[in-house]
């Protein structure tokens, strides 16, 4: 495994001079290619801010983020768009599907934007939808399918261009437990079988237990790191809950 992303001393401040909020404080870590990494923390701990930095949607106040040795904090708007197109895939809590497009078209759009050819688009779309079990609903609109199906569509869209990194922001947040489990299994399969590198932000310890490694954020700083190693998922979940109960994570998680 090689270092895909290096986050070096990233800081992010919000607000005006009189009222500054420090969302991230000198955060540094690395992500290797083929990893399934989780970022945990309570609300306001800076998870989403960190994700926005990595996804280039927001800019850093100071520090650097290297993506395959390229510093993406120095790129301009145009180059960032190109970078996102070529390297990143997104899965969000509220699915972020385009409501005017069908499931298939949502996935296709991600490819047409890259200027791929018609045959390639069709073949790849079909393959991805089959892998994620949504081929039978391809002509439906997002509002016509269940939350789990929507999220799998979002996964398919994130996967279809074979990005180097998939960013997932609370992907199970809007799902019932059954759909959530199914989705996390999908993530694991994507990671293990398709070799996708996934970074998942979550405050749900059950979801986090599917990751191979977890970074804990608190008040904008990384205060702990857990690696799953060879243990079972169940053991890993207990470890996560231990960390959370020690550090005042979600009370519900510690019970």
**Residue 55 within binding range of another protein, rule CB under 8 A:** yes
Closest CA to 64 of 23, 24, 22, 11: 11
CB of 109 to another protein, least distance (A): 6
Nearest to another protein of 9, 120 (CB atom): 120
Dist CA 197 CA 166 (whole Å): 6
- On whether the CB atoms of residues 39 and 187 are closer than 8 A, the answer is no
User: Helices 177-192 and 147-159, interaxial angle, to 10°?
Assistant: 20
**Residue 105 within binding range of another protein, rule CB under 8 A:** yes
The H or E element that residue 177 is part of is helix 177-192
CB of 92 to another protein, least distance (A): 8
**Residue 98 within binding range of another protein, rule CB under 8 A:** yes
**Residue 66 within binding range of another protein, rule CB under 8 A:** no
**Residue found under tokens 């979600």:** 250
DSSP-derived letter for residue 61 is S
**Residue 151 within binding range of another protein, rule CB under 8 A:** no
CB of 117 to another protein, least distance (A): 7
Binding to another protein in span 153-172, by CB under 8 A:
157
**Residue 121 within binding range of another protein, rule CB under 8 A:** yes
Dist CA 223 CA 218 (whole Å): 7
**Residue 82 within binding range of another protein, rule CB under 8 A:** yes
Dist CA 25 CA 204 (whole Å): 23
33 CA to centre of own chain: 14
**Residue 84 within binding range of another protein, rule CB under 8 A:** yes
Part of the chain binding another protein (CB under 8 A), chosen from 13-21, 23-31, 118-126, 217-225: 118-126
**What residue ranges bind another protein (CB under 8 A)?**
55, 57, 77-78, 80-82, 84-86, 88, 90, 96-102, 105, 108-110, 112-118, 121-122, 139, 141, 143, 157
């Amino acid at each position: 495994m090689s270092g895909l992303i290096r986050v070096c001393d990233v800081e992010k401040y919000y607000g005006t001079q009189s009222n500054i909020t420090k969302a991230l404080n000198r955060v540094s870590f690395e992500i290797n290619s083929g990893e399934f990494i989780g970022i945990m923390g309570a609300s306001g701990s800076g998870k989403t801010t960190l994700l926005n930095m990595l996804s280039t949607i927001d800019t850093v106040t100071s520090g650097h983020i290297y993506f395959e040795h390229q510093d993406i904090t120095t790129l301009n708007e145009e180059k960032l768009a190109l970078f996102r197109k070529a390297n990143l895939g997104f899965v969000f809590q509220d699915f972020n599907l385009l409501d005017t497009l069908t499931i298939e078209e949502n996935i296709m759009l991600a490819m047409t934007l890259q200027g791929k050819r018609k045959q390639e688009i069709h073949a790849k779309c079909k393959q991805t939808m089959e892998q994620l079990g949504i081929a039978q609903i391809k002509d439906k609109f997002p509002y016509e399918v269940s939350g789990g199906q929507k999220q799998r569509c979002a996964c398919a869209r994130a996967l279809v261009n074979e990005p180097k990194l998939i960013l997932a922001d609370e992907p199970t947040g809007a799902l019932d437990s059954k759909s959530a489990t199914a989705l996390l299994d999908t993530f694991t399969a994507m990671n293990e079988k398709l070799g996708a590198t996934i970074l998942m932000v979550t405050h749900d310890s059950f979801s986090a237990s599917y990751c191979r490694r977890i970074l804990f954020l608190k008040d904008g700083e990384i205060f702990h790191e857990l690696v799953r190693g060879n243990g079972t998922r169940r053991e890993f979940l207990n470890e996560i809950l231990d960390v959370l109960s020690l550090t005042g994570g979600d009370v519900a998680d510690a019970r």
